[in-house]
Structure 1
Amino acid sequence: MNVRATSTEVMGEQQDADVRHAVATLVERARAAQREFENAGQEALDMAAAAAAWAIMEPARNRQLAELSVEDTGLGNADDKFRKNFRKTLGLLRDLHGQKTTGVIARDASKGIVEIARAVGVVAAITPSTNPAATPANKIVNALKCGNAVIVAPSPKGYSSCALLIGFIHTQLAKAGLSTDLVQMLPAPISKAATAELMRQCDLVVATGSQANVRMAYASGTPAFGVGAGNVASLVTASADLRDAARKIARSKTFDNATSCSSENSVVIEEAVYQPMLDELISCGGVLLDEAQKAKLQAAMWHDGKLSAQCTARSAQTIARVAGLDDVAMREPAFLMVEETGFGATHPFSGEKLAPVLTVYRARNFDAAAEIVRNIYAYMGAGHSVGLHSADTAQAVQLGTTLPVARVIVNQAHCLATGGNFDNGLPFSLSMGCGTWGRNNFSSNLGFHQYLNITRVAYPIEEHVPDADALLGDFFRRYGR
């Protein structure tokens, strides 16, 4: 018995050593390529980013990636992934265009400060199965723009899609005379051990996906940016354009079968317009379930408190069939709706669903609606974002001042807007920081700034010592010395 235990331990130690060696080999190649690349100048960095972007944007390649993503993961739909791959990458290129990311990037003569952009080194990009091409592409483009190498740890389901993407990127990098070692990925089969080892050996971790991966990134001992859980709620007020709001919510709820963390999971409607808004949502293809149908759907969507893979990112029609709601499925719903009043684990519809299923709450007024959202986020989704459909756009500032959210999206299709769109000013990204509310160390959309170090040179300037009385005068006048 002791011999068996010892043999098992030895085997485990050998496997650990093999994983460390395999990851170290990748990292060594990445470091060698990155050391040369980071000093190649802005033009080389720009060309590398463009090469990676065009690898996914070119229509034929994009279509292959979109279809393979759905085929391999069973999540979402190919047409929406095709649009996402193109638009998110095009928007990122817009944000990066003309940005200086190497050498001196700023001078402030009055303060004697010169800022120098420096690469972070080798980036570990942890990516989810929901976006097995768009998310790694976004991280790779950002990393290359800043002079870094990147090694992707895809989800096991998304491995072949990511491998195809990286093959396309290698072809484009080679055209530009750049090393393909700048962009690599973990070999199959993807394991937690290899992903964790990559996190430990690299210089920066950018983690998108499950909260388990995000927690592992923060615990790796390597500087890390990780994102919080999604569970977006949108408010519809009495002053809203109900038809416009319903169209936008329906579009957001159904895009890519709700794979996005920014897709609405709940809508909170003021009582004065509750029924008219429900009618508008129904006119957009929503089907409101009764209590018996809701119970069947709940049993199908959650097993032992966990979301069922049978329902995740599937069409509403497929989900209805899985739940035994054949009469609903025959109506070809675009999305399903359930009414709810509670929050928390005993009311699972108050949480994230990653499916075209929308939870509907009724609120007495705007303040009550905001309180409902607060209760939802106390359970899940704190820090991410909230939607508002209202003619009184000042209400958005109220939400942004009082709710635990990093973004307030006003009169827009939420999942298309939160990560940046061409009709708002947010940066394009597929990774949204949720601040301390979501246990994150940043609250912005993950962008190129997170892939840079900044060195500051401080020159001497004429000394100016402020007068303490001038700075403390208001305090002294109020409370004395």
Structure 2
Amino acid sequence: MSVNAPSRAIQSDPQTHATVAQLVARARAAQAAFSQAGQTVIDDAVAAVAWAIMEPERNRQLAECAVRDTGLGNVDDKIRKNYRKTLGLLRDLHGVKTVGVIAEDPAKGIVEIARAVGVVAAITPSTNPAATPANKIINALKGGNAVIVAPSPKGWSAGAMLLDFIQQELRKVGVSPDLVQCLPSPVSKAATWELMQQADLVVATGSQANVRMAYTSGTPAFGVGAGNVASIVDASANLADAADKIKRSKTFDNATSCSSENSVVILDAVYDAMLAALDACGGVLLDADEKARLQAAMWPDGKLSGHITGKNAATVAQLAGLSRASQSHAGQPAFLMVEETGFGSDYPFSGEKLSPVLTVYRARDFSHACEIVEHIYAYMGAGHSVGLHSADSAQALALGLRLPVARVIVNQAHCLATGGNFDNGLPFSLSMGCGTWGGNNFSENLNYRHYLNITRIARPIPERVPAQEDLLGAYFRKYGK
């Protein structure tokens, strides 16, 4: 796709251009003052935004609004996500300096100065219409920036509610509410494109169409790759523990997260025992006929159905006419399982499903399991991450050296761990870079440093010129001059 491709496909009328320009102008005026207000004011604004979503009553209102208007996920998990992801981000940012000099290296004569990027366009998905914008807003404000959110159309109401709560809190701390704004409803591709054009930085999470649009907007952009996580269960794993963690990850918020497992690859030696452990956790293994009916319901026209995504397992089973599955586990199945051997568009269960449906592959051994995951990611999900349940610590390194992934999540509930958790060291984030494997320009969890420019002062230091022999001696001895 050429750089100008979206401009040909998306036509922005003068009114849309003017509407967005007014938002950007207000944001620039507010940001100019805010970026010079000092670390204390910036940190107060960050705390204000965090409390806007974490306060229990507002959190519940946001979660209920999100589920009601998007039809995705469930209220209790969204409440937990809104709170824990924001609390974790506050932990990561606590005491971090983002104003003025932030680092000095006397030996190298380098001083680093944090500088704001300006106005950030935050493109956010319907799956997390409160948690994701809050995360981006907090990171952006920590760098002294202003933010304009472009929510998905279905997520606009929750985003607008969040914006109202945020602006109330920002007024309390004495900063301009124009620091955080939102595109008006109805949100259109033309308005989102205009915002990308007029902002200083685009941070896009959600559909791959939006990510591609961000990268081709001509504005510096961070976008994330497609999800389609696979987890490997080794013969050395604690099967009950692995099954419980996969269940918790697979069912959290009805599997709307890009970090939820879509496939599990089980070694042959423990295949039957692991299926039994998954069954004990509420999983239901479908037979061939049930699998075919589920496939027809999930991909009725070759595309994943919006009627299925983000629903719980009982609802998915009912929509697919799977009476046995819907009545399993006292009418409360946790997730559905289908066995698969193929990969690619002819085998849609090998892709991302955004629902509590788990694809199961059987592997001869660990090497074969790696090969299966490689095939899965060659179709969809390259760059994101892989899960591993194993007692063999060397296997994690083997996955990191072999697979096209930015993260290897070991013996954890993958969905809860990938974006940072209190029991691992990854930064709290709802936007995971997938590197060049996933078509991204970064391969870490999006964090506050991505919202900063860094100016470096370089002073002279004592000259140290290495001898040629020190650097090339080994080469000369091996190959000659």
Note if contact 2:12-2:194 (Cα within 8 Å) is conserved in structure 1: no
Could you give the per-residue CA deviations for residues 370-422 of structure 1, whole angstroms, max 9, x where no partner exists?
10000000000000000000000210000000000000000000000000000
Give the Cα–Cα distance (whole angstroms) in 2 for the partners of residues 137 and 15 of structure 1: 28
Change beyond 3 A, Cα 1:222–1:303:
same
Choose which of 202, 207, 216 in structure 1 pairs with 2:204: 207
What residue number does 1:324 align with? 321
Choose which of 98, 114, 117 in structure 2 pairs with 1:117: 114
1:255 and 2:252 aligned: yes
Give the Cα–Cα distance (whole angstroms) in 2 for the partners of residues 23 and 124 of structure 1: 11
What residue number does 1:3 align with? none
Could you give the per-residue CA deviations for residues 144-168 of structure 1, whole angstroms, max 9, x where no partner exists?
1110000000000000000000100
Give the Cα–Cα distance (whole angstroms) in 1 for the partners of residues 284 and 10 of structure 2: 54
What residue number does 1:353 align with? 353
Aligned to 1:111, the other structure's residue is in SS state coil
Q: Which amino acid aligns with 2:368?
A: A
TM-score of the two chains, using structure 2 as the length reference: 0.97
Where do 4+ consecutive residues of structure 1 move more than 2 Å?
12-15
1:220 and 2:217 aligned: yes
Question: Aligned-pair distance for 1:328?
Answer: 1.7
Choose which of 223, 226, 231 in structure 2 pairs with 1:229: 226
Could you give the per-residue CA deviations for residues 43-70 of structure 1, whole angstroms, max 9, x where no partner exists?
0110111100000000000000011100
Question: Aligned-pair distance for 1:330?
Answer: 1.8
What residue number does 1:161 align with? 158
What residue number does 1:6 align with? none
Choose which of 67, 83, 86 in structure 1 pairs with 2:80: 83
What residue number does 1:170 align with? 167
Q: Which amino acid aligns with 1:268?
A: V
Question: Aligned-pair distance for 1:303?
Answer: 2.5
Q: Which amino acid aligns with 1:154?
A: P
Give the Cα–Cα distance (whole angstroms) in 2 for the partners of residues 411 and 17 of structure 1: 53
Note if contact 2:12-2:191 (Cα within 8 Å) is conserved in structure 1: no
Q: Which amino acid aligns with 2:26?
A: R
Q: Which runs of 5+ in 2 are unaligned?
A: 1-8
Could you give the per-residue CA deviations for residues 118-177 of structure 1, whole angstroms, max 9, x where no partner exists?
000000000000000000000000001110000000000000000000100000000000
Question: Aligned-pair distance for 1:266?
Answer: 0.2
Give the Cα–Cα distance (whole angstroms) in 1 for the partners of residues 377 and 283 of structure 2: 24
What residue number does 1:240 align with? 237
Question: Aligned-pair distance for 1:14?
Answer: 10
Question: Aligned-pair distance for 1:304?
Answer: 2.3
What residue number does 1:7 align with? none
Q: Which amino acid aligns with 1:432?
A: M
What residue number does 1:268 align with? 265
Give the Cα–Cα distance (whole angstroms) in 1 for the partners of residues 230 and 55 of structure 2: 35
Could you give the per-residue CA deviations for residues 204-224 of structure 1, whole angstroms, max 9, x where no partner exists?
000000000000000000000
Q: Which amino acid aligns with 1:315?
A: N
What residue number does 1:8 align with? none
Note if contact 2:10-2:189 (Cα within 8 Å) is conserved in structure 1: no
What residue number does 1:306 align with? 303
Question: Aligned-pair distance for 1:111?
Answer: 1.1
Give the Cα–Cα distance (whole angstroms) in 1 for the partners of residues 213 and 10 of structure 2: 21
Question: Aligned-pair distance for 1:15?
Answer: 6.0
Change beyond 3 A, Cα 1:456–1:15:
closer
What residue number does 2:126 align with? 129
5 Å-filtered alignment, 1:289-304, equals: 289-304=286-301
What residue number does 2:425 align with? 425
What residue number does 2:36 align with? 39
1:372 and 2:388 aligned: no
Choose which of 53, 66, 72 in structure 1 pairs with 2:50: 53
Give the Cα–Cα distance (whole angstroms) in 2 for the partners of residues 42 and 119 of structure 1: 12
Could you give the per-residue CA deviations for residues 5-59 of structure 1, whole angstroms, max 9, x where no partner exists?
xxxxxxx999611111110100000000000100100001101111000000000
Give the Cα–Cα distance (whole angstroms) in 2 for the partners of residues 327 and 294 of structure 1: 12
Aligned to 1:265, the other structure's residue is in SS state strand
Q: Which amino acid aligns with 1:134?
A: A
What residue number does 1:4 align with? none
Give the Cα–Cα distance (whole angstroms) in 2 for the partners of residues 467 and 31 of structure 1: 52
Aligned to 2:222, the other structure's residue is in SS state strand
Aligned to 2:154, the other structure's residue is in SS state coil
What residue number does 1:192 align with? 189
Aligned to 1:303, the other structure's residue is in SS state coil
Question: Aligned-pair distance for 1:461?
Answer: 1.5
Identical residues among aligned pairs (%): 74
Change beyond 3 A, Cα 1:427–1:15:
closer
Aligned to 2:153, the other structure's residue is in SS state coil
Give the Cα–Cα distance (whole angstroms) in 2 for the partners of residues 254 and 246 of structure 1: 12
What residue number does 1:21 align with? 18
Q: Which runs of 5+ in 1 are unaligned?
A: 1-11
Once superposed, what is the RMSD of the aligned Cα atoms? 1.1
Q: Which amino acid aligns with 2:414?
A: H
Could you give the per-residue CA deviations for residues 252-297 of structure 1, whole angstroms, max 9, x where no partner exists?
0000000000000000000000000000000000000000000000
Give the Cα–Cα distance (whole angstroms) in 1 for the partners of residues 194 and 137 of structure 2: 20
Aligned to 1:222, the other structure's residue is in SS state coil
5 Å-filtered alignment, 1:433-444, equals: 433-444=433-444
- Alignment length, in residue pairs? 470
